[in-house]
Amino acid sequence: MDKYFREFDFSDFWDDDEYSLKEYVCEPVTTELIEKVESELGFKLPASYVQLMKMHNGGTPNKNSFPTQEPTCWAVDHVCITGIAAISFDKNYSLCGEMGSKFMQEEWGYPEIGICICDTPTAGHDMIMLDYRECGKEGEPKVVHVDQESDFKITFLAENFEAFISGLITEEAMEILHLENKNKKKSVQKMWEDFIEKMPEYKDQKMTDSYYFCDNEKDANECSELVFNGIKRATAGSKFCYDKESWDIPKVGDLTVITDWSGEATSIIKTTKVEFIPYKEITAEHAFIEGEGDKSLEYWRKVHWDYYTRELAKYNEKLSEEMIIIFEEFEKVFPV
């Protein structure tokens, strides 16, 4: 049974037009071919990459846009790819082809952090790479964007290749997401401007962040309402994910705009206390302050165990009672 992409629909993923078939798609993958390519590149290919190439060895995807949290040379909110390199030596754009990974590193100067796997519309001026710096040549690499025009600036995209492929969307979907993000930013900015106008004592402070709670619409909207009503006065995130995603650790005095699932701003909170606590040491008092469900420790442990399990699954990690929780207490400061 395939281990990766179990719920992913590939029925319209590939664009098998004449150009793609000529320049990207290669012969079926064999064990011998994989070993030769890995030997040539000096890195072990991710199992999810190998699985995808066994289904369709290289090509141009219809889903060619990947949303980003920061601007890149291509756009303010995404990167775009034109092709995924095949496991092969034959075609120009295959991993070991004439314009493959080694060519991009030796001739264009791309950093030797791993493997160039996707080219882009800029014709070589930015690339998508597998980044083995943290995991070593035999490990599970992250996926990053590398910008040649900005001194090879590296931007994190996804924790692994499966997550990268799963996160690709069509250009049309990206345009819709772009418009939605613009509207969300307008809502957040409007609330912040109203806040500063009505509470000028904060005029010299900056907005720390804006976000919604949880990983689904129902819980995100419920938590937003609980904060608005002054019931939810804390949140609890795993330090593991803060570290993995390079998120800023909250600190006392931070001002954050809370939104609902759609990105509509609902409240502004101010951080009042930050604790680092093993999961097993969360108390009934902590659960009550967080204010969700019936506010009991039993409820807290149930819903948070489920949430952290889903969150850590993205990194192939398992939850333990020893996992450190960043317990952040806050007060709602706007609207008053």
Burial of 136 (0-12, 13-18, 19+ CB in 10 A): exposed
Fold of 18-169: SMI1/KNR4-like (3.40.1580)
Stretch (H or E) spanning 32? helix 31-41
Rounded Cα distance between 125 and 152, Å, is 9
In the chain, ranges of CATH 3.40.1580.10 domains: 18-169
Q: Is the pLDDT of residue 30 over 60?
A: yes
pLDDT, tens only, 90-129: 999 999 999 999 999 999 999 999 999 999 999 999 999 9
Tokens of 157: 């995209």
Tell me which residue of 196, 193, 216 sits closest to 307, measured CA to CA.
216
The half-sphere exposure of 233 on its side-chain side, counting CA atoms within 13 A, is 12
pLDDT at 178: 80
pLDDT, tens only, 284-326: 999 999 999 999 999 999 999 999 998 887 777 889 999 999 9
Q: Where are the beta strands (DSSP E) in 71-182?
A: 78-80, 83-84, 114-119, 126-131, 142-147, 153-158
Average pLDDT over every residue of 186-213: 93
Q: Residue 335, preceding bond cis, omega within 30 degrees?
A: yes
CATH of segment(s) 185-334: 3.10.400.10
DSSP three-state, residue 331: strand
Average pLDDT over every residue of 173-178: 86
Is residue 316 within 8 A of residue 244, CB to CB? The reply is no
Tell me which residue of 65, 48, 57 sits closest to 16, measured CA to CA.
57
Rounded Cα distance between 166 and 8, Å, is 7
Average pLDDT over every residue of 59-79: 90
The pair phi, psi for residue 79, each rounded to 5°, is: -115, 160
290: left (phi over 0), alpha (psi -120 to 50) or beta: alpha
Q: Is the pLDDT of residue 6 over 90?
A: no
User: Hey, what's the torsion of the CAs at 176, 178, 182, 188, to 10 degrees?
Assistant: 100
Please enumerate in sequence order all residues whose Cβ is within 8 A of that of 16, keeping only pairs 6 or more positions apart, or say none.
25, 59
Share of the chain above pLDDT 70, in %: 99
Tokens of 240: 């593991």
Q: Is the pLDDT of residue 1 over 70?
A: no
pLDDT, tens only, 40-62: 999 999 999 999 999 999 999 99
| Residue length of the chain | 336
Whole-prediction pTM value?
A: 0.64
In the chain, ranges of CATH 3.10.400.10 domains: 185-334
Q: Is the pLDDT of residue 181 over 80?
A: no
Average pLDDT over every residue of 212-228: 94
Please enumerate in sequence order all residues whose Cβ is within 8 A of that of 144, keeping only pairs 6 or more positions apart, or say none.
113, 128, 129, 131, 154, 155, 156, 157
Q: Where are the beta strands (DSSP E) in 55-113?
A: 65-67, 78-80, 83-84
Q: Is the pLDDT of residue 241 over 70?
A: yes
Tokens of 138: 């035999």
Is residue 210 within 8 A of residue 293, CB to CB? The reply is no
